[in-house]
Amino acid sequence: MDAQSQWTGLDAGRLERITDHLERHYIASGRITGCQVAVARHGHMAYFKSFGQMDRERGKPTRDDTIYRIYSMTKPIASVALMTLFEQGHFQLNDPVHRFVPSWRNHRVWISGEGEAMETERPQRPVTFRDVLSHTAGFTYGGGLPGVGIQHPIDKVYRALKVRSVGGSDTMMEFMDKMGQVPLRYQPGQAWMYSLATDVVGALVEIISGKPLAQYLSETIFEPLGMKDTAFWVAPEKKERFAANYQRGADKQLKLIDDPETSDFTREPGFKSGGGGLTGTSADYMRFCEMLRRGGELDGHRVLGPRTIELMHMNHLPGGKTLTDLAIGAFSETAYDGVGFGLGFASTLGQVESGGYGQGDYYWGGAASTIFWVDPKEDLSVVFMTQLMPSATFNFRGQLKNIIYSAIID
């Protein structure tokens, strides 16, 4: 056994299956232009490799410090930020959000119909902080998910009010007041639906802290953890490291959909999306994962207490149910079988039910097929970066789990 295997308990030769798998099935075949994988166990990096090209049109190879659009992998970061305010005593999980956003006292719940014929009722209880952290508040994405049109009368209300998390210029309170005008899709706490809930989380961070969201994230998470390349936009001096983003069409060919030279991500956005606005590197996100794995602390900098981290990745779905039981809508960044949801993370509740490894792990992904997970039992952190939309195109997480967990030998 080599020294690295002794430190990590991972067979280095078996981990090299990652290299063969990605190069053979994805890079050589042109299914993706490039990607990056980082695997750490017991605090030691066991595998880190960059593949292919970060910018096919310019022939630029993937750099180890490539900057990616992490989209919904912003959500766990925003959720951690809100929980730092929870630790300071600003709110309880079961507190109504209308404590901080008075307009939310007027929420209604959709029953039937649309437009002027829409029927609504009063909520049985107010939307709580737990609801917005766990996607059980009754919000939707307003028909704004990739490849998803307007599917429900409520989505039309989002559109009519111009509720936007991307490309918007509303202040956080203006955004929240608009969210208060949209009827809830279901009674709070009675279902789960992937939604603008984490944009609400980001807005609450700003409203409660009194600091702009970008500043609060920088001071509370990015600077203490040394996440020097994570931000809501790519600075001019870093643009040469910014990857291109692609979409796989019906003809199975890749189409450039966001050129790093002209991308909106190279300019400061008006609205900072806590649900999907960040860019960053694999190294930065691995530091965030390692903070989580270590119970909220890294290199002497504590972001959260260990019991808060534990609370966040417990299953907060009512009655201990799974997403299979409660999810509305076909799209999110996870499968549903054997999966629960906590405060910003999905979690594998059962290996038999989910059909794979990692019981007790917690994770999420992004629209451009980026993924991460942390496994407390195996003391493992994994980050995968690429830029391919939509994220449901390939099951990178499942494939990598098969390879990585079968390499654990201690």
Q: For residue 115, give both structure tokens.
A: 């437009």
Residue 241: alpha-carbon gap to chain centroid = 22
Distance between CA atoms of residues 101 and 96, nearest Å: 9
Alpha-carbon span 29 to 119, nearest angstrom: 52
Token pair, residue 392, equals 């449901």
Q: Say which residues have a Cβ less than 8 Å from residue 74's Cβ, sequence separation at least 6.
A: 198, 273, 274, 275, 276, 277, 278, 366
Q: Regarding the domain delimited by 3-78+214-405, which CATH topology (the fold level of the hierarchy) does it fall under?
A: Beta-lactamase (3.40.710)
| Spatial separation of the C-alpha atoms in residues 25 and 379, rounded to whole Å | 29
Please compute, for residue 237, the number of CA atoms within 13 A of its CA located in the half-sphere on the CB side: 1
Q: Which tens digit of pLDDT belongs to each residue from 322-346?
A: 999 999 987 789 999 999 999 999 9
CATH class of 93-209: mainly alpha
CA 125 to chain CA mean position, Å? 27
Give me the chain's average pLDDT, please: 95
Residue 146 pLDDT = 55
Confidence at residue 350, expressed as pLDDT on a 0 to 100 scale? 92
The pLDDT-based confidence of 151 (bands split at 50, 70, 90) is confident
Alpha carbons within 13 A on the beta-carbon side of 330 = 6
Q: Say how far apart CA 111 and CA 119 lie, in whole Å.
A: 5
How confident is the model at residue 150, as a pLDDT? 55
Distance CA 252, CA 379 (A): 37
Residue-level pLDDT at 404: 98
**Confidence label for 164 from pLDDT (cuts 50, 70 and 90):** confident
CA dihedral 31, 388, 144, 192 (to 10 degrees): 90
| Strands 245-248 and 388-389, bridge-based pairing | parallel
pLDDT of 302: 98
Domain borders along the chain are 3-78+214-405, 93-209
Task: Give residue-wise pLDDT tens across range 51-87.
Answer: 999 999 999 999 999 999 999 999 999 999 999 999 9
Contact 116, 84 (CB under 8 A): no
Q: What is the mean pLDDT of residues 29-38?
A: 98
| Torsional sign, CA 121, 125, 129, 135 | negative
Cβ within 8 Å of residue 94, ≥6 positions away: 128, 129, 130
Query: Residue 192: which of 74, 319, 349, 94 has the closest Cα?
Result: 319
Give dist(CA 53, CA 242) in Å, integer.
Answer: 11
Q: What is the pLDDT of residue 2?
A: 62
Distance CA 205, CA 79 (A): 9
The pLDDT tens digits for 240-252 are 999 999 999 999 9
Nearest to 402 by CA among 335, 347, 356: 356
Burial of residue 128 (CB within 10 Å: 0-12, 13-18, 19+) is buried
pLDDT digit string (tens) for 94-149? 999 999 999 999 999 999 999 999 999 999 999 999 999 999 999 999 987 655 55
CA dist 193 and 198 (Å) reads: 12
Residue 34 pLDDT > 70: yes
Percentage of residues in the chain having pLDDT higher than 70: 98
The pLDDT value recorded for residue 82 is 99
Rounded to whole angstroms, the Cα distance separating 134 from 57 reads 39
Cross-strand partners of 246? 256, 388
